[in-house]
Structure 1
Amino acid sequence: MNPILQAQTAHKSIRQYTDQAIDESLLKQLIQSAQGAASSSFIQAYSLVQVTNKDNRQKLATLAGGQKWVESAAEFLVICADLTRVEHCSLQQGLGKLEGNTEHFIAATTDATFMAQNLMLGAESVGLGAVFIGGIRNDPAQVAELLNLPDQVYPIFGLCLGYPDAEPDLKPRLPVDVVLHIDRYDNTRCASDVKAYDSQMQAYYQSRGDNQKSSNWSEQTANAVQKKTREHMLDFLQQRGFLKC
């Protein structure tokens, strides 16, 4: 495989970091490179907040459910969907304020996510480790207040960056044949695909070097989605100017 394909398939979430700082010029270079990601109609509807204040890092770690790596990582960035510049352009061109269209929310969220994935891949290519932090959505209102986020901006997730101080095992992903459908979606194979993958993941959890456990993908996935509904998100987003129509 070429280096890019190799880096993509070798991704591991890193939660333990050394004390080594990331050079500011390198961080800016990584962000600039990440901006090469695709953007819906080139609106580039995202912003990042680099959190350097230690007290704020501690507060964000607590809000995220006690994720201490938010504090220990060399850098912690909050990735935001941001329509403020888009709305400015719309007003400037005489087309009025944004009205909270669902399409605009999707475009901004995907723009930010494409950029963030590019940023993570770039960071890993230069020897850094990273992990996304969805836990900041546990209390997005407090995160928004802490970071002074205006309306038309919402925090999607955080990103820890740093030099790895651990080498976790690589999790096997779903087989390509499970996620790839030809011409028509085939739902008849769902049960058998999940059963086979459960067996693979159970063997992985029991054999890995650290944090061995008896579990499978179904159990992990069901708990992840059913116990993290974050029902406050719709009201929060609507108050920010999103998802009104």
Structure 2
Amino acid sequence: MDTKPMNTKPTAEEKNETLRLLMNHRSIRRYLPDRVAEEELEAIVRAGQMASTSSGVQAFSVIAVENPDTKRTLAELCGNQAYIEECPLFLVWCADMHRLEAAGQFAGGESVRAARNTEQFLIATVDAALAAQNAAVAAESLGLGIVYIGGVRNRIAEVGELLGLPELVYPVFGMCVGRPAQDPLTRPRLPLGAVLHRERYDDSRYDEKIAEYDAVYRRYMEERSQGQSAASWSEAMATKIPVPSRTHLLAYLESQGFRFE
């Protein structure tokens, strides 16, 4: 029986297919063996290209990996994440200042060098992230599923060598892509009031909103783990945030030509 009140206006999500798609995002870690068609791959990457980019620099590249042996090696380098090997398509999203330096030298000669400072590093990293999220939405609109893989930074130098990354390029994250072979729960997000600030930053309600989220998150974890875990979000963060992670990244990034100044 439909219990929706009469004369109630539909929500923005109910009226908008794009919003419904965005709100239904889930990380997919099991895939059917079906290959992602070339036209789908190209459409996904073109959608990524249409993301906003600082001053038109487009400081990112994406490497599509389908070779089983390469995926197997990447799975090992990323922390033995089996779904990298199992997915039909693995995309490695890279921040890329190398192409910009090549463009500058094409127009102005070999003496033109990229600034290589912190701002350039951030521009390239943000460009890669924006493009990847556009691509993720495009993939989901085609009935595909994705999961981001930060594990490419676990053994980042070996990943870079495997993929032949030149100076001024680094892998920001990977992305498994394929047709879903699972129907996972949607992970709940923080209450809007914990994220949306009005006019200026306000943390006065954080305790209230975190407690509210913890209750929702515990139920999610209990259902997801079939009763094996009921950890709250704040408990998970209390365990996670004190531990420095991937402390080798600075040395690798500097070896790739980035300077943090």
Q: Return the alpha-carbon distance in structure 2 between the equivalents of residues 211 and 41 of structure 1.
A: 50
Deviations 1:69-113 (A, max 9, x none): 000001001100001121123333367312321111111011111
Aligned twin of 1:150: 166
Partner Cα separation in structure 2 for residue 230 and residue 30 of structure 1: 30
* Whole-angstrom CA distance in 2 between matches of 1:137 and 1:144: 10
State the secondary structure of the residue aligned to 2:143.
coil
Q: What do the CA deviations read for 1:102-138 (whole angstroms, capped 9, x no partner)?
A: 1111110111111100101000011100000001100
The offset of 1:217, in angstroms, is: 0.7
**Alignment partner of 1:6 is 2:20:** yes
Aligned to 1:200: 216
Residue 87 of structure 2, aligned match among 70, 73, 86: 73
Structure 2 counterpart of 1:14, which letter?
A: I
Name which structure has the greater RCO, CA cutoff 8 Å, separation 6+.
1
Which of 69, 91, 96 is equivalent to 1:55? Answer: 69
Cα deviation for residue 219 of structure 1 reads: 2.5
**Could you say if the C-alpha distance between residues 35 and 210 of structure 1 is closer, same or farther in structure 2, counting changes exceeding 3 Å?**
farther
Contact 1:169 1:209 in 2 (8 A): no
1:193-221: CA deviation from partner (whole Å, max 9, x where unpaired): 22221121012111347585221111223
Match of 1:133 in 2: 149
**Is 1:30 the counterpart of 2:44 in the alignment?**
yes
* Distance change >3 Å, CA 43–CA 179, structure 1 → 2: same
Retained in 1: the 8 A contact 2:35–2:178? yes
Against the structure 1 CA distance between its residues 210 and 115, is the aligned structure 2 distance closer, same or farther, given a 3 Å change threshold?
Answer: farther
- 2-side partners of 1:232 and 1:74: how far apart? 30
Q: Aligned AA for 1:128?
A: L
Question: Which of structures 1 and 2 has the bigger CA Rg?
Answer: 2
Encode CA deviations 1:161-189: one digit per residue, 9 max, x unaligned: 00000000111111111101111111222
**1:60 corresponds to which letter in structure 2?**
L
- Give 2:201's aligned residue: 185
- Evaluate the alpha carbon distance shift between residue 84 and residue 114 of structure 1 in structure 2; reply closer, same or farther with a 3 A threshold: same
8 Å contact from structure 1 (residues 99, 241) kept in 2 = no
Cross-structure match for 1:44: 58
Q: Distance in 1 between matches of 2:22 and 2:177?
A: 17
The answer to whether the 8 A contact 1:129-1:162 is kept is yes
Residue identity (%): 40
1:130-151 CA-partner distances (Å, limit 9, x unpaired): 0000011001000000000001
Q: CA RMSD in A?
A: 1.7
Residue 111 (1) aligns with residue 143 (2): no
1:22·1:74 contact (CA, 8 Å) conserved in 2? Answer: yes
Aligned amino acid, residue 172 of structure 1: P
Partner of residue 218, structure 1: 234
* C-alpha distance 194-243 of structure 1, shift in aligned 2 (>3 A): farther
Q: Identify if the C-alpha distance between structure 1 residues 201 and 153 changes in structure 2 by more than 3 Å, giving closer, same or farther.
A: same
Q: Deviations over 1:40-81 (max 9, x none)?
A: 101001111111222221111111111100000010011000
What is the aligned length? 245
Rounded to whole Å, the distance in 2 between the matches of 1:100 and 1:168 is 42
Provide the residue aligned with 2:176 in structure 1.
160
C-alpha separation between the residues in 2 aligned to 1:64 and 1:35?
A: 26
Please, which runs of 5 or more residues in structure 2 have no aligned partner?
Answer: 1-12
Secondary structure at the residue paired with 1:115? helix
Moved more, 231-240 or 194-203: 194-203
Equivalent in the alignment of 1:122:
138
CA distance in structure 2 between the aligned counterparts of 1:211 and 1:82, rounded to whole angstroms: 44
